[in-house]
């Protein structure tokens, strides 16, 4: 009976050592996973920060482009107005020249 208890005790001791070893292995694995998780969270935070900076930069560029587009539209409108004014002046001058030529022809015909 003593041998049975001794054998049972040895088995229990061996099982306890195996479980202790397994627990240590799992603790090391958990530690590695925690470190990996920390690195991933840092990477995510860094990516979010870079993404926010890129978005802000893009919004600033968009604002600048919209402003430049509005300035270009305003300039185009002014140029169009100036062009129309020049066309009107040219038409008025051509009309006046035509009238003067007709008057000269009438004088020459007399």
Each residue of 5-26: pLDDT tens digit? 778 888 899 999 999 999 999 9
Model's pTM, two decimal places? Answer: 0.58
Residue 15 has what DSSP assignment?
H
Each residue of 14-70: pLDDT tens digit? 999 999 999 999 999 999 999 999 999 999 999 999 999 999 999 999 999 999 999
Q: What is the pLDDT of residue 108?
A: 80
Q: Return the exposure string of 59-97: e unless at least 16 CB atoms fall within 10 Å of the residue's CB, then b.
A: eeeeeeeeeeeeeeeeeeeeeeeeeeeeeeeeeeeeeee
Lowest mean pLDDT among 11-15, 84-88, 95-99: 11-15
């Amino acid at each position: 009976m003593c041998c049975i208890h001794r054998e049972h005790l040895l088995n229990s001791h061996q099982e306890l050592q195996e479980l202790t070893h397994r627990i240590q292995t799992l603790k090391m694995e958990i530690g590695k996973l925690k470190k990996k998780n920390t690195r991933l969270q840092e990477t995510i935070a860094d990516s979010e920060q870079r993404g926010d900076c890129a978005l802000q930069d893009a919004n600033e560029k968009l604002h600048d482009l919209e402003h430049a587009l509005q300035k270009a539209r305003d300039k185009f409108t002014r140029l169009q107005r100036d062009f129309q004014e020049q066309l009107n002046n040219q038409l008025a001058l051509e009309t006046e020249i035509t009238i003067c030529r007709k008057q000269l022809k009438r004088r020459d015909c007399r």
